[in-house]
């Protein structure tokens, strides 16, 4: 058999397999579309309990770490729990069936409608939490969903869907509302799923995001992370250091929202470094920094061997033997430049924190802007300060969709019980990050909205109202 014949045979098999999944999903979704809001919310609760059940949660976390080699069990348990709990809180009183809004003064009524069959593309970094989040949001909108896991995340996804099916059976909902691609997971099968689905929601590598946008189906994708945080002169240094440390080390920095760089103003630089050291960080010397760089980017590309590993494991791989380094919670390196020649200025997906020294706040903004000019534009920036003017300046000037103020970044960006952002594991990065949304992906992204439009009393503006001031000023 020729290579061409083999490729065509595999492609035909993928098309047939995906078509069968889509057919079953559509049949289940047509049934589900008739559910009342009460019934839908019961289905959503069932899917949420499937991952929040303590025994399920632990097993999913253990499988995720065992099969992907990324992160740690304790933090994945916490992530699965808190992200799902927060999402269910967000959805509890949200209307997604029938009339969801009325504007009598405008003559408009909004009715929620399903989008149909959702293709959920999910990463290996969060093989349970991210699929669960997308499944629950999709179900809230009376949709069916087919998950395309990463190859390493397949086993975790299969177990999650099995738990969800058991809960759906309890409430009498169609099991084919939630399906996943069977192994082996291939790019061809994932692309075919995206092509046949009604909506694609993609999280993961930028290759996945570009494929989603190129699939021919409507798609929501997210941008690359490379978060920087500023420690301002008015920051509470001890609190800022503890928040950065907890964010940087959580699940071995699998989150795209973990700080990759911290920009410290000169007048508090030494004190802030001391606080970060007290919080568990160790600053590498120039020789250690060089050895670590060769280990992390051996051929100019971030090596997967260091991704989401603990700081001591990374130090061991790099041959770093200083006792404080081998026991560190996270490693710190000082840097002065940005871009391809300065790989520490990019996303590291590991407990390695790049430290920049800024002369003043203007310089701090320049450094962050340069970092995002290289990688991470659109995502978010952190700031530790009591200066509202500095906070607003970041929101007005930097290419970011979120400014996280005095919070642990990876916990705050995706929604927190201490802020008002929707709980999500998929953060839109706007046009800066090549995305068509700038908010946290949420249930409204999984809805079509039909508008009933009634006549209202006519009001036609006069030319004076529209042009009077302009003409008086410019003639």
Return the number of other C-beta atoms located less than 10 Å from residue 169's C-beta: 12
**Cα distance between residue 146 and residue 124, in whole Å:** 16
Write the CA distances from 10 to 27, 154, 343, integer angstroms.
Answer: 26, 20, 39
**Helices 269-278 and 237-249: angle between axes, nearest 10 degrees:** 50
Residue 36, C-beta contacts closer than 8 angstroms, at least 6 positions apart? 97
**Cα distance between residue 322 and residue 463, in whole Å:** 76
**Cα distance between residue 101 and residue 451, in whole Å:** 10
Return the number of other C-beta atoms located less than 10 Å from residue 455's C-beta: 6
**What's 235's DSSP letter?**
S
**Cα distance between residue 2 and residue 227, in whole Å:** 47
**Helices 73-91 and 54-68: angle between axes, nearest 10 degrees:** 130
Write the CA distances from 241 to 275, 384, 387, integer angstroms.
Answer: 6, 9, 18
Residue 99's DSSP bridge partners are 111
For the question of residue 256 being annotated catalytic, the response is: yes
Write the CA distances from 370 to 262, 269, 283, 332, integer angstroms.
Answer: 13, 20, 23, 20
Using left for φ > 0, alpha for ψ between -120 and 50, and beta otherwise, residue 348 falls in alpha
CA angle 85, 75, 292 (to 5 degrees): 140
* Per annotation, catalytic residue among 157, 256, 365, 401: 256
Q: Tokens 């030494």 belong to which residue?
A: 270
Which residues are catalytic, by number?
256
């Amino acid at each position: 058999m020729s290579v061409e014949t083999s490729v065509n045979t595999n492609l035909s098999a993928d098309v047939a397999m995906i078509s069968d999944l889509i057919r079953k999903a559509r049949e289940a979704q047509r049934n589900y579309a008739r559910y009342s809001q009460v019934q839908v919310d019961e289905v959503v609760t069932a899917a949420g309990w499937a991952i929040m059940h303590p025994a399920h949660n632990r097993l999913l976390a253990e499988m995720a770490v065992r099969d992907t080699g990324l992160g740690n069990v304790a933090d994945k348990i916490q992530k699965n729990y808190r992200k799902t709990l927060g999402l269910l809180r967000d959805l509890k009183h949200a209307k997604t069936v029938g009339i969801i809004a009325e504007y009598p003064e405008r003559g408009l009524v909004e009715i929620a409608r399903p989008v149909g069959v959702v293709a959920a593309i999910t990463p290996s970094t969060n093989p349970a939490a991210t699929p669960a989040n997308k499944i629950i949001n999709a179900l809230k909108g009376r949709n069916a969903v087919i998950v395309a896991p990463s190859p390493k995340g397949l086993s975790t996804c299969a177990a999650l869907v099995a738990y969800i099916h058991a809960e759906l059976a309890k409430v009498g909902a169609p099991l084919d509302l939630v399906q996943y691609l069977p192994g082996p997971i291939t790019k061809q099968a994932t692309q075919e799923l995206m092509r046949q689905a009604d909506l694609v929601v993609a999280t993961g590598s930028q290759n996945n995001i570009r494929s989603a946008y190129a699939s021919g189906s409507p798609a929501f994708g997210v941008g690359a992370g490379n978060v920087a945080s500023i420690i301002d002169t008015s920051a509470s240094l001890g609190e800022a250091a503890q928040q950065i440390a907890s964010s940087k080390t959580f699940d071995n920095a699998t989150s795209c929202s973990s700080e990759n760089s911290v920009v410290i103003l000169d007048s508090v630089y030494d004190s802030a470094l001391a606080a970060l050291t007290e919080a568990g960080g160790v600053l590498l010397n120039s020789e250690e920094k060089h050895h670590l760089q060769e280990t992390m980017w051996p051929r100019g590309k971030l090596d997967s061997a260091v991704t989401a590993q603990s700081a001591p494991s990374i130090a061991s791989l790099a041959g770093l033997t200083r006792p404080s380094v081998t026991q560190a919670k996270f490693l710190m390196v000082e840097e002065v430049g940005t871009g391809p020649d300065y790989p520490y200025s990019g996303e590291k997906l590991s407990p390695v924190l790049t430290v920049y020294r800024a002369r003043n706040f203007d310089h701090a903004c320049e450094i962050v802007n340069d970092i995002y000019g290289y990688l991470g534009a659109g995502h978010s920036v952190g700031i530790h300060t009591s200066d509202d003017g500095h906070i607003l300046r970041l929101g007005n000037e930097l290419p970011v969709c979120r400014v996280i103020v005095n919070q642990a970044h990876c916990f705050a960006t995706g929604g927190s019980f201490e802020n008002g952002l929707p709980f999500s594991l998929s953060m839109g990065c706007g046009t800066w990050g090549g995305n068509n949304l700038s908010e946290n992906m949420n249930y409204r992204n999984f809805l079509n909205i039909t508008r009933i439009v009634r006549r209202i009393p006519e009001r036609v503006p006069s030319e004076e109202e529209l042009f009077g001031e302009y003409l008086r000023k410019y003639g």
